[in-house]
A and B are shown apart, each in its own frame.
Chain A
Amino acid sequence: MQRKSRLVLIAAILGFIFLYAPMVSLVIFSFNKSKLVTVWGGFSTKWYGELFQNAQILNAAGLSLRIAVISASLALVIGTIAAFVLVRFGRFRGRNLLTGMITSPLVMPDVIIGLSLLLMFVAMQNLIGWPNRGMTTIIIAHATFGAAYVAVVVQSRLRDMDLSVEEAAADLGAGAVRVFFDITLPIISPALISGWLLSFTLSMDDLVITSFVSGPGSSTLPMVIFSKVRLGVSPDINALATIIILIVSVGVIGAALAMRKKDMPHG
């Protein structure tokens, strides 16, 4: 027993180091005074100050946030509908095809998704004059793969759900719409929250697909960072990354707490 628990502890520590050492060094260097990224020159917060002067980065961050919120919400609606169709509508023609299609963005290489979306947008623009490449196309692209993740998460929750709970509500006099909003939605809400958060983060962080479908003047945060890093790593990027890590951590911990509260009576 003793040996085993020590082994587990060592494995856990190694795992944490492997995962978090790069991030920790990034956070530390974001407070570096020196302009050289690899040399410690004393503590300073000047890169943060500089970051908030940088209009390009602030604009990109704002755009990324807007895209992430809108596309995650779209993905939530589309993915949830897809999950309901797959779980609740029994067997219908094309069910297997739909199952395959809905999950394909999970396994398809980003390059291929990006390229095919780009081709589609170009063709659509030629045919109906919409959409112009830019924020709209990025949102559509992100909602597409986000919906796949939402569908998978919501599907498993729906499968586990006891159907007789809905029947009980109907039996007590609730119509179909009421049953959905009073019973089904609250029960699957943890899956909806995690699905939304998942698509939000995926959208915030996607570079490849976004690069294909974005247009002039619509550079998202990952695109800006990537183009800057290609010219050499500057410390203000470290500061930006640190802020992103902070936001993501708060989000993830918050979501975990929310889920825990929801699930507490179950465990």
Chain B
Amino acid sequence: MSQQENGPVMRPWLDPDAVPFIRIRNITKKFGAFTAVNNVTLDIYHNELFCLLGGSGCGKSTLLRMLSGFEQPTDGSIEIDGQDMAGMSPCDRPTNMMFQSYALFPHMSVEKNIAYGLKRDRLPRGEIADRVAEILKLVQLEEYGTRKPAQLSGGQRQRVALARSLVKKPKVLLLDEPLGALDKKLREETQFELVNIQETLGVTFIVVTHDQEEAMSISTRIGVMDQGKIIQVGEPREIYEFPQSRFVADFIGSVNMFEGQVIKDTQSKVVIHCPDAQMDIEVSHGVSCASAQKVAFAIRPEKIQMSRTKPKKALNLTRGVVQEIAYLGNLSIYHVVLDSGKAVRVTRPNLERADEHAVTWEDRVYLYWDGTAGVVLNT
């Protein structure tokens, strides 16, 4: 469902000549002495569904609020569609926002809530009614038009808020945790719907979330934030497979991290001495770092092979004991404790319904991976 596989035409960020739709330059926001957003520079292209991902309090909402005009940046500039946003009030900006708290008007019915923005544009009545009906259908709330927000469930309120921000078809739609209150199933449906809406309306979306799975599944690109800074921007696959820092590797998905020291560094391979992993890990790509530098080797749980018998050929091989198995249905998570005492997470898909040869508790196993399975992180 994400658009990352659609080839270079749909990936303007790979094209150096492409003109960004939203240009954020060195933007900083301070609340007193506290810096909520710290020198963020970001380009977002037309028709993107850009996800801002980060822990609680890292400044995601603040960044959105500066885009929508509710906070004035302490420093830096924002340009949308070639227009400088400095000093422009929220009601004149080409953005609409869906608030984290939904911010529905409690004294208006669902229909009136949604129609409010259209009325401000002085559209003819008939058209307003048509568009409200259309958007209600889209968010599956046709029967709820006359209810007041307080008479709706959390998930329904969220969809009203979504509908209200969508109905004006703004150039940029800012969504602050749009799906936070939905249960898993409805959430997945709505994610799908969101992507559909985005593709049909041709609106540029910026979505804030702290659910990394959601970010991975819906976005064209993800910006990972921490303590007011954008740490890495990239396509979901890039962020997952090639994290550039320990924080990103750790934040997105789960990861095994081995601390070590570079003992060999050539064009085509690096060897890292890791006492934790009881071996020298070989990585078949070069890293630009000083020799003897302390680094971390990060490897995803699903990239580690596991067997009870010793593999014939393995570049990186270590041993441990299975201490814990969590059965999740489609896959199982194994906690393997290496002889050094380091715990490693390994996930294996459950391909057979009943597998007598499966690894069980207390089994002594070999863990191994090849040279491209993990990444070396020096920040």
What is A's interface to B at a CB cutoff of 8 Å? 162, 164-165, 167-175, 178, 182-183, 186-187, 262, 265-266
Contacts and interface: CB of A to CB of B under 8 A. Distances in A.
Contact of B96 (A172, A174, A178): A172
Interface stretch (B23-31, B97-105, B351-359): B97-105
A87 to B, nearest CB: 18
Given A165-B105, A168-B99, A265 B148 contact: yes
Contacts of A162: 101, 103
A173 B100 CA distance: 19
Contact of B91 (A164, A173, A187): A173
B312 interface: no
21 contacts: A162-B103, A164-B103, A165-B104, A165-B106, A168-B99, A168-B104, A170-B91, A171-B68, A171-B91, A172-B117, A172-B120, A172-B168, A173-B120, A174-B91, A174-B120, A178-B120, A182-B116, A187-B107, A262-B107, A265-B149, A265-B151
Interface string B80-96: 00000000011100011
B105 A167 contact: no
Contacts of A182: 105, 116
B155 to A, nearest CB: 18
A171 B106 contact: no
Nearest to B147: A265
Nearest to A183: B105
Contact of B105 (A169, A170, A175): A169
Interface in B227-244: none
B116 A172 contact: yes
B74 to A, nearest CB: 17
Interface of B: 68, 70, 89-91, 95-97, 99-101, 103-107, 116-117, 120-121, 148-151, 164-165, 168
A126 B104 CA distance: 55
Contacts of A183: 105
In this complex, the member of B70, B120, B148 whose beta carbon has the largest number of chain A beta carbons within 10 angstroms is B120
Contacts, number: 66
Contact of A164 (B99, B151, B165): B99
A171 B165 CA distance: 9
Contacts of B117: 172-173
Given A178-B120, A265-B148, A171 B105 contact: no
B68 A187 contact: no
Contact of A175 (B91, B95, B165): B91
Given A162-B103, A265-B148, A167 B120 contact: no
A259 B277 CA distance: 68
In this complex, the member of B70, B105, B121, B149 whose beta carbon has the largest number of chain A beta carbons within 10 angstroms is B105
In this complex, the member of A164, A173, A175 whose beta carbon has the largest number of chain B beta carbons within 10 angstroms is A173
Nearest to A168: B103
Contacts of B165: 171
A265 B150 contact: yes
Given A171-B70, A171-B91, A262-B107, 7 more contacts: A162-B103, A167-B70, A167-B103, A168-B105, A173-B120, A173-B121, A266-B150
Nearest to B107: A186
A162 B90 CA distance: 17
A174 to B, nearest CB: 5
Contacts of A266: 106, 150
A167 B95 CA distance: 13
A214 to B, nearest CB: 41
B16 to A, nearest CB: 34
Contacts of A178: 120
A74 to B, nearest CB: 26
Contacts of B68: 171
Contacts of A173: 91, 117, 120-121, 168
Contacts of B91: 170-175
A174 B149 CA distance: 20
A123 to B, nearest CB: 45
A203 to B, nearest CB: 29
A168 B68 CA distance: 10
Contacts of B97: 167-168, 171
A162 B100 CA distance: 12
Contacts of A187: 106-107
* Ranked 3 nearest A-B pairs via Cβ: A172-B117, A173-B120, A265-B150
A200 to B, nearest CB: 24
A173 B103 CA distance: 15
A170 B151 CA distance: 24
Given A165-B106, A265-B149, A265-B150, A171 B90 contact: yes
A168 B104 CA distance: 8
A177 to B, nearest CB: 11
A47 B362 CA distance: 99
B118 to A, nearest CB: 9
A168 B97 CA distance: 7
Nearest to B89: A170
In this complex, the member of A164, A175, A187 whose beta carbon has the largest number of chain B beta carbons within 10 angstroms is A164
